[in-house]
Amino acid sequence: MIPKENFLSWTRAHEWGTDIYARETLENGTRIEVWDSGVIVFTPAYPNQRDLVLSCAVHGDETAPIEICDELIEALKEGSLVPRARVMFLIANPAAINVGRRFVEENMNRLFSGAHSKGPGLVNAERMRAQKIEHYMERFFTEAPDGARERLHYDMHTAIRDSQHEKFAVYPYTNGKPYRMRQMQLLKAMGVSVFLLNEAPTTTFSYYSVNTFGADAFTVELGKVHPFGQNDMSRFVQTKALLRDLLTEDEPAVDDFDADDFLVYQVLRTINRTQEDFVLNFPDNVANFTEFSLGYELARDGETSYVVETEGESIIFPNAKVALGQRALLTVVAIPTESLELV
């Protein structure tokens, strides 16, 4: 378990602008650089063509991905894992981790692609950290060796509530490009075979990587929020195995692509909270991807009522307590995998 007060004992915070806070070279030739608290880069002696970013704790109470990253970091440090890929670990919101909350002042996953410098509340912990993270992402990708490279980013989360699909991935808007079978195969090897398509630009961390650096990036939901030490780590065996392969293998082995192996959802509606008088018309223990019948009132925002309009319409990411103007609920519907443009 990672102590809350010092979740990575060998990193220390520093002022943004310092080139490298700490550097060490292991006996196997791997170079370790600490760029900031929770920002750790491993560069192999002979790197392959993969630049990998593993991020967690954009929401500070989502502990399982933090523990997964910490385990991988320790294995790389002690030499039991010898990397072939360049990798940057980003423990995104240490301030929120240390207070045991989702965020200190503002939802960080609405602050990327420059959103940290727009709108009210221009100076707070999450906005300053998001701006720094964008700087570190640019630095990591631009410092890569010359040549064609694979850029991959998994932003790992756990959800506030249960889900009818324990693990799923949000596939960010591709800016009109086809969806990639290889990326879906890799996630399936992690135990993630359910995809939610985000079909418009957003200010999430994963879309920032897609749009700014052309990376294959995903928001990966790995289960439900639990306190440190209370995660059943046996549920992440496949996840950790694939991440280890991405670190150490040039081409991780995956199953052949079969459209029937995947379940794909498309967003129908985004319901934002615009009024103080906002309510969701279902209990807090209703799971993500729960389907409601036609005509059922899902939410009421002041005088506006939102009812189920489409057969098979399901809910995901409901949260009536979001700030005014932010998303309180998505509704989604399953679509055939074969309907996607795939390469």
Catalytically active residues are 221
Alpha-carbon distance of 196 to 289, in angstroms, equals 10
Alpha-carbon distance of 8 to 88, in angstroms, equals 15
| Among 85, 123, 109, CA closest to 248 | 85
Is the distance from CB of 216 to CB of 152 less than 8 angstroms? Answer: yes
Q: Show Cβ contacts of residue 252 under 8 Å, excluding neighbours closer than 6 positions.
A: 186, 189, 242, 245, 246
Tell how far CA 256 is from the center of its chain. 25
Question: Positive or negative, the Cα torsion across 149, 244, 55, 47?
Answer: negative
Is the distance from CB of 126 to CB of 107 less than 8 angstroms? Answer: yes
Alpha-carbon distance of 201 to 313, in angstroms, equals 22
Tokens of 265: 């959802």
* DSSP helix/strand/coil, 28: coil
Alpha-carbon distance of 26 to 137, in angstroms, equals 24
Q: Is 146 exposed, middle or buried (0-12, 13-18, 19+ CB in 10 A)?
A: exposed
Tokens of 156: 């790992």
Alpha-carbon distance of 78 to 291, in angstroms, equals 47
